[in-house]
């Protein structure tokens, strides 16, 4: 019926998302961080296709190529731009594959911890009373212990392995999300739209996840971004201590640990370059997180 009168195209509406993007782009540092992180993520995802060598394929490794300086040409006929480790692995390829593990563990654990923590935080804020105080006591307890210690404790029981590291990271991280979400959910819960939803007798699950959660997202995104960086650093630390990922799936931390003993004899590159990769990743994520915090913090709004 109404097909005859097409309305003129609407002017570009300023949605919250568009506003967020344009404000995020105000900081060149943050955009730089985003670009660098995107490149790192792409390198990690496509490592098997772009790395000069498969560092886990024992057939292509030659022990004669071991501990070669950066820039030297190995038996494979190509240049090892970042040198080789003691097994003759090309460090550049090792770093690309290591990034896969580091990012997988970091992003994966942050994501699971976010799910667990946000759900519990929402529940605490919504249910209040005893549920709230029990959950928040556990959160307080969790936060009063340094993360490294808690993770150490868990891994001492569970043993090495990617999966165990993820479990340990989730256990030490969920409390940050729970506290963040509870804080903003407590504010949102008193708003009228929640009252309206309750009056409509909507199911609790729907109120929690369709009404309350979306409005608690901004601080959650900020915490989530920062926690990814923390998780990557913590995983690297645990792997460096020999408690993290197994030797068959070396993350950046384990690569750095491998170079430790050669450091004293001046063969710096085995530890140095994976560390630089780790550093760039963490700083890029933190730069993005910093800007997001400024943009999403209503108190800083002009």
Partner 1 sequence: MLIYLLRRIMQSGFVLVAMSLLVFLGVYAVGDPIEILISPDADQIEKERAIQALGLDLPLWQQYLVFVGKALQGDLGRSFVFNEPAIQLILQRMPATLELAFGSMFLSILIGLPLGLYAGLRPNGAISKGIMAGSILGFSLPTFWVGLMLIMVFAVQLGWLPSTGRGDTAMLFGISWSFLTGDGLSHILLPAINLALFKISLVIRLTRAGVRETMLMDYVKFARAKGLSPFRVTFVHVFKNILIPVVTVVGLELGGTIAFSVVTESVFAWPGMGKLIIDSINVLDRPVIVAYLMMIVLMFIVINLLVDIVYTVLDPRVRLEAKA
The residues that touch partner 1, with contacts defined as CB under 8 A, are: 141, 144-146, 148-149, 152-153, 155-158, 229, 233, 236-237, 240-243, 253, 256, 260, 263-266, 268, 271-272, 275, 278-279, 282-283, 286
Please state, in angstroms and rounded to a whole number, the distance separating the CA atoms of residues 24 and 31: 7
Q: Give the C-alpha separation, 225 to 34, whole Å.
A: 11
| Shortest distance in whole angstroms from residue 157 CB to partner 1 | 4
Per the document, the length of the chain is: 302
Q: What minimum distance in Å lies between the beta carbon of 293 and partner 1? A: 13
| Min dist. Cβ of residue 145 to partner 1 (A) | 6
Q: Rounded CA gap, 48 and 56, in Å?
A: 11
DSSP strand pairing (72-73 vs 79-80): antiparallel
Cβ-proximal residues to 88 (8 Å cutoff; 6+ apart), any chain: 61, 62, 63, 64, 65, 66, 68, 74, 75
Could you give the C-alpha distances from 247 to 105, 136, 257, in angstroms and in order? 15, 38, 11
- CA separation for the pair 270, 259 (Å, rounded): 5
**Shortest Å, Cβ 97 to partner 1:** 19
Minimum CB–partner distance for residue 262 and partner 1 (Å): 10
């Amino acid at each position: 019926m109404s097909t005859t009168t097409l309305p003129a195209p609407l002017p570009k509406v300023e949605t919250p998302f568009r506003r967020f993007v344009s404000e995020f782009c105000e900081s060149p540092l943050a955009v730089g961080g985003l670009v660098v992180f995107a490149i790192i993520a792409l390198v990690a995802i496509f490592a098997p296709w772009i790395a000069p060598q498969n560092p886990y394929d024992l057939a292509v490794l030659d022990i004669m190529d071991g501990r070669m300086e950066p820039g030297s040409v190995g038996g494979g006929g190509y240049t090892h731009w970042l040198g080789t480790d003691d097994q003759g692995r090309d460090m550049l390829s090792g770093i690309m594959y290591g990034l896969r593990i580091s990012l997988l563990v970091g992003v994966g654990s942050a994501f699971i911890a976010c799910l667990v923590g946000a759900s519990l935080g929402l529940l605490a804020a919504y249910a209040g009373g005893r549920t709230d105080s029990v959950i928040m006591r556990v959160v307080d307890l969790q936060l009063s212990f340094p993360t490294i210690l808690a993770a150490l404790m868990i891994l001492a029981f569970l043993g090495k392995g990617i999966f165990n590291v993820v479990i340990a990271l989730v256990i030490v991280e969920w409390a940050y999300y729970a506290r963040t979400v509870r804080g903003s959910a407590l504010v949102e819960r008193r708003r009228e739209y929640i009252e309206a939803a309750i009056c409509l007798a909507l199911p609790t699950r729907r109120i929690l996840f369709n009404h309350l959660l979306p409005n608690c997202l901004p601080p959650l995104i900020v915490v989530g971004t920062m926690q990814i960086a923390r998780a990557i650093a913590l995983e690297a630390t645990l792997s460096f201590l020999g408690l993290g990922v197994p030797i068959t799936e070396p993350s950046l931390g384990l690569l750095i640990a491998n170079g430790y003993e050669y450091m004293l004899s001046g063969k710096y590159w085995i530890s140095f370059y994976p560390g630089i990769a780790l550093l760039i990743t963490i700083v890029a994520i933190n730069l993005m997180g910093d800007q997001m915090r400024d943009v999403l913090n209503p108190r800083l709004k002009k």
